[in-house]
């Protein structure tokens, strides 16, 4: 269902916000009270900060520092490398001042126990900032602002860590109907956005105002689930204080996953953004409240994204929210809230979509909105899986209006074509289906399996295609080389022959030997053709006749790229 | 450690099945009230047989016994067989039917969740084809003491002794009256006269049976409130049966019974809330459920009015079960963000 721009206007002016609804969803036990009793605490600076270079969707930034370098708080230590990943990446910064003690592979907050290149910093305790200059975006072009946000490392803090600058279009032509600010925070246990809105509403609104300007948005709708009355009140007060004419804080009904971007857009505007489409195609763009706050800090205060609010909850003595430096080992943070002795797992994110952590040594990253300590009591292992009885509970709960049990049958039977036909890739993996399943089937796992199998198949096909192309090209090249070699030999023989038979007064400009019948000999024709080809051959620019300085620079770049590649993909051959 | 979600709703197949059994209780109480405790004997017989058959097949298939024996699905099948069979049927008939339902209709197709046909209805259809006489041994309300019932169920097959205490169901009686009326034009029998002359007819349908049906209705509404079944299947079934029988009785009141007679007679109420709602063998999409249940109702009414069997629910359900894959495929709901059903381009 789509709503025209005029409808938006009408609704806005009457100020009676008509909310829409999404199908499905569940109402789990929210468990948010425990961590909202106390204000945000500042997490202590750890002995070592482990800052992964890859913290956003996109390519791995290039390290700008090496061992023993002194870094300042807010200093860029990883730059989005356009030569490797294009624009799709975001910078990372030192979260405090200190010395780089290592640039090496470290364990990531990822269930697979994956390692990635990290800059390890030993803080010097002085917390010495770089020179912080506010960035007045009004005196810069949109592209300059985008580059600034990229270099300030601002990414989506709702969990997806999509680089924020990419959501600000470079052209001025498209105007946005509705800017949506997501403060719904629908996952159980997580309260970091709630805490931020309660305590720093004005800063968030300043960030929202910047986005409003940058995107030339018609209206701004700030959606917050109605189980956060204090946050709603604080945000409303902040909006009133700044008195923007077209900004509204709206309480949306509490139902997981109301905070999913697609669901929130649907609830606030009635627009459904399908899989594979950008919301901007529908005149809507959505940002998390934490992201708006980070934008305010980057633009108005000149501070890059080096910390975030993290909820520590679950099986801990004192659940609460912390302001945490990016790179802080989770162990340091958990020590503040004290895990109960029966804690048997750590989850990053909420209990519905979070990921199990391989260790408590992994660092807090920009994607870390919550660290949940689990125990057998809190999250009992699922009862034994029973066969699907097609009760349809999953279909009732699915916010994407899918038929999860059908997808389950297809995924299980590896009928992936059929699974895609039944819109497997529209699944947002919110976990509602698994949550309600009376047979305790880990449905989402089946979809993850099917998706990864399809991806693997696609990339296999791609690499097979590539290999075939390579092979065919090599064959072609070898064939051409053989031809050229024989042509060369023939030409050589021909010239020596003509030289022997040459008449001295033959003009130098026209030395093609002419046979008795008046036509050129074949060997000579070939020789002439080769000569023409040589003349036509274009030398690539900037590869020859370089100055020593340029050559040195190229060598340095090559060395750096090789180093990154060996560190990031040690198992890959260098020239792959 | 498994993957997300880590939070699971407190629900299970067992709790779903137990609540279905619970929802059958109001109807069962009415059953006992009007027809005595014979039905309890049949339920016990069917339940024990079902559990034994289930255990045997699970053992042969190497499946975990405790997990599947306690899921309650075999009990639901057993209860539905007992409640849809005549309460005075001989013991071996119910045992045979239950064995067929569990071993053939359920486990030969793959067990829980895999059977394309409703096991209880497979059993009913087979038995009514194989033993039509035994399947019409319906008692007169009240009158018979438990000892007699016991001896009928477990005693030797003595047809003559039964005539005094059993009778045709109202549906059967009506059919016989109308059919014989067709052959004897001198004594025109209408629905009204046939029903008025029959002592088994109560206010709405069969005496006693109408209250049992009311009990099923209460239990079914509770299942809906518990969100174990959705409104689609029962509503579509009852509404279609109501409309068809209502239309026919308005057009030709002499030959067609009215809607209330159809809804409260025979197994209509049991079917509406407990048989067409079997999730495994019914359609699953919202629209598909409406089509499936309406189809069952249509076939039921056609078989009741024009067929050779007193009640057509079992055949109607089985026929529609065959159509389920097609119905489900054709009625896939619109996916979030897509303009219409089955649209590949958003």
Instruction: Give Cα separations from B67 to A412, A439, B55, B56, B278 (angstroms).
Output: 21, 11, 11, 14, 20
- Is residue A66 classed as helix, strand or coil in its secondary structure? coil
Radius of gyration of chain A (CA): 31
Whether residue A218 contacts residue A5, with contact meaning beta carbons closer than 8 Å, is answered with: yes
pLDDT exceeds cutoff 70 at A408: yes
How much is the pTM? Answer: 0.82
For range B33-44, the mean pLDDT = 91
Residue among A515, A189, A570, A124 at smallest CA distance from A369: A189
CA distance B217 to A97: 73
Residue A34 DSSP label: G
pLDDT at A391: 93
For residue range A234-276, list pLDDT tens digits in order.
Answer: 999 999 998 878 899 999 999 999 999 999 999 999 999 988 8
Question: For the residues of A358-373, what is the DSSP string, one character each?
Answer: S-TTSBP-TT--EEEE
Residues on B contacting A at a C-beta cutoff of 8 Å: 1-9, 11-13, 15-16, 64, 67, 71, 73, 111-114, 228, 230, 279-280, 284-285, 328, 332-338, 346
Place of tokens 């968030």: A204
Nearest to A346 by CA among A355, A337, A338: A355
pLDDT at B205: 62
**pLDDT at A559 (0 to 100):** 72
Alpha carbon distance A420, A429 (integer Å): 15
**Chain B residues touching residue A111 (CB < 8 angstroms):** 3
Nearest neighbour of B337 by CB, restricted to A26, A272, A435: A272
On the 0-12 / 13-18 / 19+ scale of CB atoms within 10 A, A318 is middle
Dist. CA A232–CA A201, nearest whole Å: 9
Q: What is the mean pLDDT of the segment spanning A547-559?
A: 73
Please compute the mean of the pLDDT values over residues B13-36 and round it to a whole number: 94
pLDDT of amino acid B201: 63
State residue B318's pLDDT score.
97
Cβ A287 vs Cβ A37: under 8 Å:
no
Q: Tell me what pLDDT residue B285 has.
A: 95
Kindly tell me the sign of the dihedral angle through the C-alpha atoms of A333, A337, A338, A343: negative
Residues of chain A above pLDDT 70, percent: 87
Maximal C-alpha separation, chain B? 81
Which two structure tokens, joined as six digits, stand for A151?
Answer: 């270099």
d(CA A349, CA A444): 16
User: Comparing C-alpha atoms, which of A46, A44, A37 is closest to residue A320?
Assistant: A37
Query: In terms of DSSP bridges, do strands A320-325 and A307-314 run parallel, antiparallel, or are they unpaired?
Result: antiparallel
The pair of three-digit structure tokens given for residue A362, joined into one six-digit string: 């992994």
In a mutational test of the A interface, the residue from B4, B17, B233 whose CB has the highest number of chain A CBs within 10 Å is B4
Give residue B138's pLDDT.
79
Which has the closest alpha carbon to A275: A456, A88, A20, A447? Answer: A447
- Above 50 in pLDDT, residue A491? yes
Q: Which residue has the tokens 């793959």?
A: B110
- What's residue A5's pLDDT? 42
Task: Locate the chain B residue with the closest alpha carbon to A281.
Answer: B346
Residue B34 has pLDDT above 70, yes or no: yes
pLDDT band, very low/low/confident/very high, at B270 (cuts 50, 70, 90): very high
- Whether A173 has a pLDDT exceeding 90, the answer reads no
Q: Which of B1, B16, B67 sits opposite A391 (nearest CB)?
A: B16
The alpha carbon dihedral of B300, B301, B302, B305 has a sign of positive
**Between chains, do A391 and B279 touch, taking CB under 8 Å as contact?**
yes
Mean pLDDT of chain B: 86
Render pLDDT for A412-427 as a digit per residue (tens, 0 to 9). Answer: 999 999 999 999 999 9
d(Cα B40, Cα B44) in Å, to the nearest integer? 6
Per the model's pLDDT, the better-predicted residue between A8 and A161 turns out to be A161
Q: What is the C-alpha separation between A61 and B137, in angstroms, rounded? A: 82
Cβ <8 Å between B336 and A272:
yes
Mean local confidence (pLDDT), A149-163: 92
Q: What is the CATH number of domain B13-158+182-329?
A: 1.10.3430
Query: Which H/E stretch holds residue A100?
Result: strand A98-107
For A36-77, what is each residue's pLDDT tens digit? 999 999 999 999 999 999 998 888 888 999 999 999 999 999
With beta carbons under 8 A apart, name residues in chain A contacting B335: 274, 400-402, 423, 426
Tokens 């809607």: give the residue.
B259
Distance from CA of A397 to the nearest CA of B (A): 12
Residue A122 and residue A108: Cα distance in Å, rounded? 19
Residues A305, A366: contact at Cβ < 8 Å? yes
What gap in Å lies between CA B15 and CA B3, rounded to an integer?
A: 25
Give me the mean pLDDT over the A152-176 stretch. 83
CB of B340 closer than 8 Å to CB of B334: yes
Q: What is the pLDDT of residues A301-331, one digit of tens each?
A: 999 999 999 999 999 999 999 999 999 999 9
In the block, tokens 């399996």 appear at: A449
Nearest 5°: the CA angle B248, B254, B259 is 40
Averaged over A152-177, what is the pLDDT? 83
Q: Is A72 exposed, middle or buried (0-12, 13-18, 19+ CB in 10 A)?
A: middle
Give the distance from residue A40's alpha carbon to the nearest chain B alpha carbon, in angstroms.
Answer: 26
Helix (H, G, I), strand (E, B) or coil at A249: strand
From chain B, pick out residues whose CB is under 8 angstroms from the CB of A262: 336-337
Q: Is the pLDDT of residue B42 over 90?
A: yes
Asked if B3 and A390 come within 8 Å (Cβ–Cβ), the reply is: no
Nearest-angstrom CA–CA distance, A289 and A274? 23
Indicate the SS3 state at residue A293: helix
DSSP state of A132: P
Sort residue A415 into left (φ over 0), alpha (ψ -120 to 50) or beta: beta
pLDDT at A103: 94
Degrees, nearest 5: CA angle B69-B71-B75: 75
CA distance A49 to A363: 8
* Res B221: pLDDT: 97
Contact A60, A83 (CB under 8 A): no
Q: Give whole-number Cα distances, A346 to A103, A116, A290, A327, A331, in Å.
A: 26, 20, 23, 17, 11
Distance from CA of B8 to the nearest CA of A (A): 4
Cα dihedral A461→A463→A465→A466 (10° resolution): 170
Angstrom distance (rounded) from CA B313 to CA B102:
20
Q: Among B103, B59, B97, which residue's Cα sits nearest to residue B79?
A: B97
Task: Report pLDDT for A1.
Answer: 40
Q: Which helix (H) or strand (E) covers residue B96, if one does?
A: helix B91-99
| Residue whose C-alpha is closest to residue B140's, from B38, B40, B34 | B34
Cβ neighbours around A83 below 10 Å, total: 9
Q: Compute the mean pLDDT over every residue in chain A, rounded to the nearest whole number.
A: 87
**Taking the domains of chain B in order of start, what are their residue ranges?**
13-158+182-329
pLDDT in tens, B72-83: 999 999 999 999
Band (pLDDT 50/70/90 cuts) for residue A160 is: confident
Quote the strand ranges of A425-482, DSSP E. none
Ordered strands of the A284-288 beta sheet:
A247-252, A217-225, A176-182, A284-288
Output the pLDDT for position A555.
75
The answer for residues whose C-beta is within 8 angstroms of residue A526's C-beta and 6 or more apart is A487, A490, A491, A494
pLDDT of residue B143: 63
Tell me the HSE value of A35 on the side-chain side, using a 13 A CA sphere: 32
User: Are B279 and A395 inside 8 Å of each other by CB?
Assistant: no
CA dist., res. B138 & res. B320, Å (int): 27
Task: Give A386's contacts in chain B (Cβ within 8 Å).
Answer: 12-13, 67, 71, 112-113
Question: Which has more pLDDT, A507 or A285?
Answer: A285
Task: State the pLDDT at residue B124.
Answer: 95
Taking only the tens place, the pLDDT of each residue in A447-486 is: 999 999 999 988 888 889 889 988 999 999 999 999 999 9
Is B2 within 8 Å of A422 when comparing Cβ atoms? no
What integer is the mean pLDDT of A421-441?
Answer: 94
- A49-52 and A115-123: which strand pairing? antiparallel
Q: Chain A residues with CB inside 8 Å of B71's CB?
A: 386
How many angstroms separate the CA atoms of A345 and A355, rounded? Answer: 10
Q: Does residue A214 or residue B341 have the better pLDDT?
A: A214
pLDDT tens-digit map of B166-218? 666 667 667 666 655 444 444 445 666 666 666 556 666 667 888 899 999 99
A170-179, A234-243, B4-13, B143-152: which range is least confident on average? A170-179
> How far apart are the C-alpha atoms of A243 and A235, rounded to whole Å?
12
Q: What is the pLDDT of residue A14?
A: 39
Task: Assign 3-class secondary structure to B135-199.
Answer: HHCEECCCCCCHHHHHHHHHCCCCHHHHCCCEECCHHHHHHHHHHHHHHCCCCCCCHHHHHHCCC
In 3D space, the residue among A274, A404, A265 whose CA is nearest the CA of residue B340 turns out to be A274
> CA A154, A158, A160, A166: dihedral to nearest 10 degrees?
-40
Contact A440 B12 (CB under 8 A): yes
């Amino acid at each position: 269902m789509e709503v025209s721009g005029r409808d938006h206007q009408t609704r806005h002016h009457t100020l009676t916000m008509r909310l829409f609804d999404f199908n499905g969803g569940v109402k789990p036990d929210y468990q948010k009270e425990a961590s909202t009793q106390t204000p945000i605490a500042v997490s202590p600076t750890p002995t070592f900060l482990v800052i992964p270079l890859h913290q956003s969707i996109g390519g791995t930034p290039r390290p700008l520092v090496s061992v023993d370098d002194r870094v300042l708080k807010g200093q860029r230590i990883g730059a989005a490398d356009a030569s490797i990943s294009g624009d799709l990446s975001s910078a990372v910064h030192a979260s405090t001042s200190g010395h780089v003690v290592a640039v090496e592979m470290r364990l990531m907050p990822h269930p697979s126990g994956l390692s990635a290149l990290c800059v390890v910093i030993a803080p010097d305790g002085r917390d010495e900032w770089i020179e912080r200059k506010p960035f007045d975006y009004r005196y810069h072009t949109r592209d300059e602002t985008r580059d600034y946000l990229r270099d300030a490392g601002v990414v989506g803090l709702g969990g997806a860590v999509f680089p924020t600058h990419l959501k600000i279009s470079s052209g001025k032509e498209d105007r946005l109907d509705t800017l949506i600010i997501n403060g719904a925070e629908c996952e159980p246990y997580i309260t970091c956005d709630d805490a931020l809105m309660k305590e720093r509403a004005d800063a968030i609104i300043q960030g929202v105002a910047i986005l409003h300007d940058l995107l030339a948005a018609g209206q701004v709708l700030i959606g917050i689930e109605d189980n956060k009355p204090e946050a709603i009140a604080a945000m409303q007060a902040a909006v009133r204080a700044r008195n923007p004419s077209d900004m509204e804080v709206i309480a949306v009904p509490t139902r997981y996953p109301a905070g999913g971007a697609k669901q929130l857009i649907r609830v606030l505007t009635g627009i459904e953004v399908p899989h594979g489409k950008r919301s901007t195609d529908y005149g809507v763009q959505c940002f998390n409240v934490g992201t708006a706050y980070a934008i305010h800090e980057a633009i108005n205060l000149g501070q890059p994204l080096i910390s975030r609010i993290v909820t520590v909850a679950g099986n801990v003595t004192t659940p609460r929210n912390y302001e945490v430096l990016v790179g802080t080992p989770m162990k340091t943070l958990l020590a503040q809230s004290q895990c109960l002795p029966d804690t048997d797992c750590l989850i990053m994110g909420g209990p519905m979509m979070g990921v199990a952590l391989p260790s408590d040594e992994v660092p807090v990253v920009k994607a870390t909105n919550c660290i949940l300590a689990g125990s057998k009591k809190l999250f009992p292992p699922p009862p034994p899986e029973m066969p699907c009885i097609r009760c349809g509970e999953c279909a009732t709960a699915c916010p994407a209006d899918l038929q999860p049990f059908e997808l389950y049958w297809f995924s299980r039977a590896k009928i992936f074509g059929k699974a895609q036909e039944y819109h497997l890739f529209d699944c947002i993996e919110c976990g509602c289906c698994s949550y309600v399943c009376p047979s305790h089937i880990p449905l989402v796992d089946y979809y993850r399996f099917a998706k990864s199998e399809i991806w693997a198949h696609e990339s296999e096909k791609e690499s097979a295609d590539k290999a075939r192309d390579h092979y065919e090209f090599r064959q072609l090249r070898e064939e051409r080389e053989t031809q050229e070699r024989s042509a060369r030999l023939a030409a050589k023989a021909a010239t020596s022959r003509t030289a022997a038979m040459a008449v001295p007064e033959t003009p130098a400009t026209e030395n093609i030997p002419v046979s008795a019948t008046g036509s050129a000999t074949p060997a000579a024709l070939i020789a002439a053709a080769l000569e023409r080809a040589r003349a036509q051959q274009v030398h690539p620019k900037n590869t020859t006749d370089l100055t020593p300085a340029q050559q040195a620079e190229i060598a340095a770049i090559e060395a750096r790229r090789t180093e990154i590649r060996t560190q990031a993909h040690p198992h890959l051959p260098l020239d792959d | 450690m498994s993957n997300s979600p880590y939070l699971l709703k407190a629900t299970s197949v067992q709790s779903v099945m137990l609540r279905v059994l619970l929802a059958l209780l109001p109807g069962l109480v009415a059953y006992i009230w009007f027809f005595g405790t014979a039905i309890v004997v049949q339920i016990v017989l069917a339940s024990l047989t079902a559990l034994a058959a289930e255990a045997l097949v699970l053992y042969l298939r190497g499946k975990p016994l405790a997990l599947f024996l306690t899921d309650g699905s075999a009990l639901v099948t057993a209860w539905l067989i007992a409640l849809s069979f005549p309460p005075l049927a001989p013991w071996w008939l119910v045992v045979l039917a239950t064995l067929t339902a569990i071993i053939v209709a359920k486990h030969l197709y793959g067990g829980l969740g895999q059977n394309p046909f409703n096991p209880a209805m497979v059993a009913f259809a087979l038995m009514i084809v194989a033993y039509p006489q035994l399947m019409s041994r319906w008692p007169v309300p009240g009158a018979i003491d438990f000892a007699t019932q016991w001896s009928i169920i477990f005693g030797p097959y003595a047809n003559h002794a039964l005539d005094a205490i059993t009778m045709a169901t109202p549906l059967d009686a009506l059919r016989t009256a109308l059919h014989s009326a067709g052959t004897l034009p001198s004594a025109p029998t209408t629905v009204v006269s046939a029903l008025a002359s029959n002592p088994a007819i109560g206010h709405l349908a069969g005496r006693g049976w109408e209250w049992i049906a009311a009990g099923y209705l209460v239990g079914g509404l509770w299942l809906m409130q518990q969100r174990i079944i959705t409104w689609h299947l029962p509503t579509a079934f009852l509404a279609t049966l109501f409309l068809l029988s209502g239309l026919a009785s308005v057009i030709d009141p002499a030959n067609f019974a009215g809607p209330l007679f159809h809804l409260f007679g025979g197994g209509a109420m049991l079917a509406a809330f407990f048989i067409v709602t079997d999730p495994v063998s019914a359609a699953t999409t919202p629209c598909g459920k409406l089509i499936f249940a309406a189809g069952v109702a249509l076939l039921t009414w056609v078989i009741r009015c024009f067929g050779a069997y007193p009640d057509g629910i079992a055949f109607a359900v089985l026929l529609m079960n065959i159509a389920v894959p097609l119905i489900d495929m054709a009625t896939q709901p619109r996916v979030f963000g897509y303009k219409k059903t089955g649209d590949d381009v958003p």
